[in-house]
Structure 1
Amino acid sequence: MRDKPFRSVLKTISWRLTGTVDTIVIAYLITHELKWALSIGAIEVFTKLILYYFHERIWDRINIGRIKPPDYQI
């Protein structure tokens, strides 16, 4: 069973929010500048949203570790 693209979009957004907060915190700890930390987080969120979406769609086509559902049910 394959995920629909919309599910991949939702997973992409939820993961990016988590990752972006992490990036902002790390950038702030390194730079001690909130402006820089937010700027880095803003750039990172867009690039990684796109990368993750395509990564997710590629993995949806790979059957490693998946169990094929039965073709019929009684």
Structure 2
Amino acid sequence: MRRLVSAKRSMVKAITYRMVVMCLDFLTIYLFTGALHIALGFMVASNLYTSVAYLLHERIWAQIGWGVHEM
């Protein structure tokens, strides 16, 4: 029997993960630059493309049976 992971679960997981990373991105860039607009700009740009990449990566791995064991 194969374990199925729903697309909705992957989407929620991706969103919550990106929220954490967005906060870390903002904080790091703000601490390095002291510029609010630079930190916000980096946070938005970076998280648009990395969110899509993470979701695609998650969905691909959800289809791979390697390392998944049924109990």
CA–CA distance in 2 between the matches of 1:45 and 1:2?
Answer: 27
Runs of 4+ in structure 1 over 2 Å off: none
Q: TM-score, normalised by structure 2?
A: 0.89
Q: Distance in 2 between matches of 1:32 and 1:55?
A: 33
Higher relative contact order structure (alpha carbons within 8 Å, sequence separation ≥ 6): 2
CA–CA separation in structure 1 for the residues paired with 2:10 and 2:37: 31
- Quick one: percent identity of the two aligned structures? 28
Structure 2 residue ranges without an equivalent (≥5): none
Q: Deviations over 1:17-68 (max 9, x none)?
A: 0001100111111111011001100111211110000010011011222113
TM-score if structure 1 supplies the norm length? 0.86
Partner of 1:7: 9
Correspondence list, 1:1-74, <5 A: 1-68=3-70
Q: How many equivalent residue pairs? A: 69
Amino acid at match of 1:19: V
Please tell me the root mean square deviation across aligned C-alpha atoms, in Å: 1.1
5+ residue gaps in structure 1? 70-74
Quote the Cα distance in structure 2 between the aligned partners of 1:38 and 1:27: 9
Greater radius of gyration (CA): 1
